[in-house]
Amino acid sequence: MNKKVVLEDLGLQDYKKTWDYQEGLFENIIAIKIKNRREGAGLETPNHFLFVEHPHVYTLGKSGDIGNLLVGEKVLEEKGAKFYKINRGGDITYHGPGQIVGYPILDLDNFFTDIHKYLRFLEEMVILTLAEYGLKAERSGGETGVWLDVGTPFARKICAMGVRASRWVTMHGFALNVNADLGYFDLMIPCGIKDKAVTSLNIELGKQQVDMDEVKQKLLRHFEALFKAELVKQKTPV
């Protein structure tokens, strides 16, 4: 089993461009697995972890309700935002500057074949990272992602998650609000969950800005420990 994970930080990238890049990596792993099964090739499957920030964009999962986007195309244009229907699970979410988006594209045959465990590990990675900033983050029953003050009238989401998996290969991932402009969340019902707020790490810490690279390093350290993975840095333009 290959525990090495190729890490790429793509910087600020268009959502569709990054989605296409993800799809290419995903399909390559699938193709290797099919070849191994049909021909007994015994080829090693690679794993990838992409960090990225996106310009303002709203994405709707395959089971999502378009009614959870509260504005039309004209308002999106005025806000400089795009909209895509995509092939992950979950409902509607927002990506934008100041948000750390992570896309692990893993062959879970290299780690463990359990999607539920995979999602819980991604959540735990974020929970452990936020604990380093003195925040008690938690899961909320029946709602994928990471929250603060669960079970109170002040519950608020700080990290959204939505993944796709086929033949135990994953894509899409998580979006952690670090220095996010929360005004953009007012244009939708986040993840289709009404009456619950959204927050960002800088707001919780009372800071204007939080060091994004520092947060990324903490996330990666917990990712390596949880998945027993070995990260290998690579600089490859999309």
Taking only the tens place, the pLDDT of each residue in 174-223 is: 999 999 999 998 888 765 555 678 999 999 999 999 999 999 999 999 99
User: Is pLDDT above 80 for 28?
Assistant: yes
Q: What is the mean pLDDT of residues 29-41?
A: 95
Q: pLDDT of 146-174, one tens digit each?
A: 999 999 999 999 999 989 999 999 999 99
Label residue 88 by pLDDT band (50, 70, 90).
confident
Whether residue 95 is annotated as binding a ligand: the answer is: yes
User: Is pLDDT above 70 for 121?
Assistant: yes
Among 60, 109, 100, which Cα is nearest to 118's?
109
Name residue 159's beta-bridge partners.
Answer: 146, 176
Whether residue 94 is annotated as binding a ligand: the answer is: yes
Whether residue 96 is annotated as binding a ligand: the answer is: no
pTM for the full predicted model: 0.92
Q: How far is CA 188 from the centre of its chain?
A: 18
Tell me if the domain spanning 4-233 has CATH number 3.40.640.10.
no
Whether residue 180 is annotated as binding a ligand: the answer is: no
Residue 87, helix vs strand vs coil: coil
Whether residue 173 is annotated as binding a ligand: the answer is: yes
Name residue 161's beta-bridge partners.
Answer: 174
Active site residues: 191
pLDDT of residue 235: 65
Whether residue 56 is annotated as binding a ligand: the answer is: no
Label residue 87 by pLDDT band (50, 70, 90).
confident
Beta strands, E only, 30-179: 48-53, 57-60, 82-85, 92-95, 99-105, 137-140, 143-148, 156-166, 169-177
User: Is pLDDT above 70 for 36?
Assistant: yes
C-alpha 154/C-alpha 133 separation (Å) is 19
Question: For the chain, what are the domain ranges?
Answer: 4-233
Q: What is the mean pLDDT of residues 73-87?
A: 88
